[in-house]
C-alpha cells in the first residue's frame, strides 16, 4: 500500500467503526450460541498480545521481529507513519533504552480474520519521573502471514493521558 495515497490511509472513523463492529461481533449470542474464533484469529490475537507484552523488554530489535518488512506504524493520530522495520528500530531504540520500565496492560482484545483491535493502557516509566507517560490506547493491527503489517494507535477520548510523574490512575 502506498503510504501517500488516500486509499492507504485509515481514518479515525474507519478504525473506530471497525472497533465497534468487532465489539458487537464479540458480544453477539443467538440461538446458535457464541461465534467461535478461527485458528487464524486465535493465532493473530496471540501474535499481537505477545508483541504488546514484549514491549517490557525495551528491545526495539526484538519487537521488530513481529513486524512485516514494510510495516506501516502510526504512533498516534496526526503523526506521520513510520514505514519499514529498520525505521521502526531507528525511531524506537533510543526511546526504549531511556525508559526504566515499559508495561502495556491489555484490557480487551477482539479479532476478525486478519484484524486485531485491543484496548490497553501503555505505561512508559522514565529514569526521570518527569519523562514517564501513561495512555489509554485503542490499537488496530492488520496481521498478514504471521507479521504485523499495519499498526495504528488511537488515544481513547476521556481515557488516561498522563505525562510526567508516577502513575495516578484514571
Q: List the domain range (segments joined by +) for residue 93.
A: 10-163
Q: Classify residue 169: in a domain, yes or no.
A: no
Q: Classify residue 18: in a domain, yes or no.
A: yes
Predicted local distance difference test score (pLDDT) of residue 170? 55
| All residues at 6 or more sequence positions from 155 whose CB lies less than 8 Å from its CB, including other chains | 76, 77, 135, 136, 137, 138, 161
Of the two residues 166 and 11, the one the predictor is more confident about is: 166
Nearest CA to 120 out of 102, 144, 98 is that of 102
Predicted local distance difference test score (pLDDT) of residue 16? 54
- CA end-to-end distance (rounded Å), the chain: 37
Q: Classify residue 5: in a domain, yes or no.
A: no
Q: Give me the residue label for grid cell 517490557.
A: 56
CA distances from 155 to 12, 15, 136, 140, 159 (A): 10, 12, 6, 11, 7
Give the CATH number for residue 55. 3.10.450.50
Q: Classify residue 1: in a domain, yes or no.
A: no
Q: Classify residue 77: in a domain, yes or no.
A: yes
Of the two residues 107 and 13, the one the predictor is more confident about is: 107
Q: Does 168 have pLDDT greater than 90?
A: no
Q: Which range is least confidently modeled, 15-24, 95-104, 144-153?
A: 15-24
| All residues at 6 or more sequence positions from 6 whose CB lies less than 8 Å from its CB, including other chains | none
**Total number of domains constituting the chain:** 1
Is the C-alpha dihedral spanning 56, 75, 122, 53 positive or negative? Answer: negative
- pTM, to two decimals: 0.79
Q: Classify residue 4: in a domain, yes or no.
A: no
The x, y and z cell numbers of residue 96, run together, are: 526504549
Tens-digit pLDDT profile for residues 40-81: 999 999 999 999 999 999 999 999 999 999 999 999 888 999
Predicted local distance difference test score (pLDDT) of residue 22? 53
Q: Classify residue 47: in a domain, yes or no.
A: yes
Amino acid at each position: 500500500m502506498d503510504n501517500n495515497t488516500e486509499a492507504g490511509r485509515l481514518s479515525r472513523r474507519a478504525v473506530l467503526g471497525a472497533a465497534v463492529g468487532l465489539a458487537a461481533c464479540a458480544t453477539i449470542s443467538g440461538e446458535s450460541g457464541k461465534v467461535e474464533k478461527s485458528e487464524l484469529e486465535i493465532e493473530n490475537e496471540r501474535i499481537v498480545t505477545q508483541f504488546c507484552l514484549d514491549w517490557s523488554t525495551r528491545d526495539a530489535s526484538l519487537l521488530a521481529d513481529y513486524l512485516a518488512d514494510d510495516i506501516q506504524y502510526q504512533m498516534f493520530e496526526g503523526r506521520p507513519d513510520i514505514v519499514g522495520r529498520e525505521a521502526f528500530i531507528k525511531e524506537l531504540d533510543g526511546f526504549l533504552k531511556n525508559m526504566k520500565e515499559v508495561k502495556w496492560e491489555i484490557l480487551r482484545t477482539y479479532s476478525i480474520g486478519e484484524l486485531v483491535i485491543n484496548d490497553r493502557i501503555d505505561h512508559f516509566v522514565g529514569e526521570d519521573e518527569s519523562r514517564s507517560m501513561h495512555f489509554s490506547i485503542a490499537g488496530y493491527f492488520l496481521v498478514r502471514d504471521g507479521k504485523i503489517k499495519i499498526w495504528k494507535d488511537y488515544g481513547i477520548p476521556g481515557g488516561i493521558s498522563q505525562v510526567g510523574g508516577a502513575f495516578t490512575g484514571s
